[in-house]
Structure 1
């Protein structure tokens, strides 16, 4: 059995400061084998925001890997954004933008989906799909972690990541079983299964762990417990008008037949206004 904490969209610099300590306590109490952070550690990619994120992440006791999000590159400093967009992220998190980590029978493969030439839309770069496929462990549960989702719910009005449909189809054929993402600040698991043409891949789209945007209505993170072909998700939710996280809610999935089956009705995602301009908050 392997336990993985999935955090996304911390947005240090525009975060609920009072929720950081309860989040850290919950994460450290999860007995995780690995913590995976799928981007937007900061709100604007500034040094002070990376310092805040670094202090928080350094207090997590489990091993940790992360990939960047679109907010982790500077928005206003165009020279840095276009010439050295990931310099700040690398200073804070290390040189690897797409790390891989094996924990027991689970292999987590990072993918950098950030396009510095776009404000929010992601991109799957040439060769990245092949690189990830070449790194899969066919005897393990393969989990791909990136910031931008590879598929959107019908209610979401943001642009889908470039080459996302190709990536999702090829990853499913190659044997990837789970995709972790963030970006939309919208939790979606079973709702994705209900609409996807790729049920061999369970897409776990995280809400925001700490962002203070009121329209998100809640902060949350998840703990994945993987036991062979069975997956239990603990979903920890902190409504915006409450000071901490409620007791976890549970979702159960199985993949014994080669496709994912949900063992509860699909959730009803909370979809805030998702249209984004260059200067919107999230």
Structure 2
């Protein structure tokens, strides 16, 4: 069995500081084989925010991979945003924007979906789908990790990432089995499976691990336990009006037939975090 911790949307600089130690303790207690962070480690891509993020991530005891989010490039410093958008990310977290990691029988391939010329909307760049397909391991459970979802729930009012439908369809045909993403601050797994035309790929859309925006209503992260075609997910949830994380909730999925099947009713996503203006948190 392989254990993967999925964190997203930490938003250091606009984070719930009182929850950070509890989050770190839970993450380290999970004894994961790999921790995957799907972007927005900072709120505005500033050096002081990167320093906070790097200090936190350095205390994670498991192997770590991080891909950037749209908040990880400066919003208001336009020369840096357009000429060197990832300089702060690379200084604080390392040079690789599209890392790949192997953890037991699981392969995780990172993708940079950030478009510095857009405030929020993501992009799948030319050649990225082919690169990801070329990196898939036919003997492994293949996970693609990026910040922007490749599909949205019907209730979400943001623009979908450019070329996302093509990416999702081609990745499914090539044998990718899971996509990890964030960005919307809205947890969705079974609800995505209920509406998608691509049931060969389980889309795990994370809530925000630390953002302090009250309208998000809760912080959370997930632990994936992968055992062949079986997947158990632990959701660790900390409501905004509670001091720490509740005991985990569990979701179970299987892929024995080549498509994902949920073993519980679909969750009812809390969508308000996805309905914000262009210059707000998400």
Q: TM-score scaled to structure 2, two decimals? A: 0.99
Aligned CA distance change for structure 1 residues 204 and 273 (closer, same or farther; 3 Å): closer
| 1:14-93 correspondence to structure 2 within 5 Å | 14-93=14-93
- The match for 1:139 is 139
- The match for 1:102 is 102
- Distance in structure 1 (CA, Å) of the matches to 2:208 and 2:20: 12
Aligned CA distance change for structure 1 residues 52 and 273 (closer, same or farther; 3 Å): closer
- Distance in structure 2 (CA, Å) of the matches to 1:127 and 1:180: 20
- Using the TM superposition, give the Cα deviation of residue 279 of structure 1 relative to its aligned residue in structure 2, in angstroms: 2.7
- Distance in structure 2 (CA, Å) of the matches to 1:161 and 1:142: 21
- Distance in structure 2 (CA, Å) of the matches to 1:278 and 1:117: 13
1:137 alignment partner, SS class: coil
What CA deviation, in whole Å up to 9, does each residue of 1:127-184 have, x standing for no partner?
A: 0000000000000000000000000000000000000000000000000000000000
What CA deviation, in whole Å up to 9, does each residue of 1:216-245 have, x standing for no partner?
A: 000000000000000000000000000100
Is 1:246 the counterpart of 2:246? The answer is yes
2:51 alignment partner, SS class: helix
Is 1:174 the counterpart of 2:169? The answer is no
1:250 alignment partner, SS class: strand
- The match for 1:163 is 163
- The match for 1:203 is 203
- Distance in structure 2 (CA, Å) of the matches to 1:243 and 1:277: 28
Whether the 8 Å CA contact 2:10–2:41 is kept in 1: the answer is yes
Q: TM-score scaled to structure 1, two decimals? A: 0.99
Whether the 8 Å CA contact 1:232–1:253 is kept in 2: the answer is yes
- Using the TM superposition, give the Cα deviation of residue 273 of structure 1 relative to its aligned residue in structure 2, in angstroms: 5.0
Q: Which moved more, 1:32-41 or 1:270-279?
A: 270-279
- Distance in structure 1 (CA, Å) of the matches to 2:155 and 2:250: 24
- Distance in structure 2 (CA, Å) of the matches to 1:167 and 1:45: 27
- Using the TM superposition, give the Cα deviation of residue 280 of structure 1 relative to its aligned residue in structure 2, in angstroms: 1.7
Gapped regions of structure 1 (runs ≥ 5) = none
**RMSD, matched Cα:** 0.7
- Distance in structure 2 (CA, Å) of the matches to 1:4 and 1:281: 26
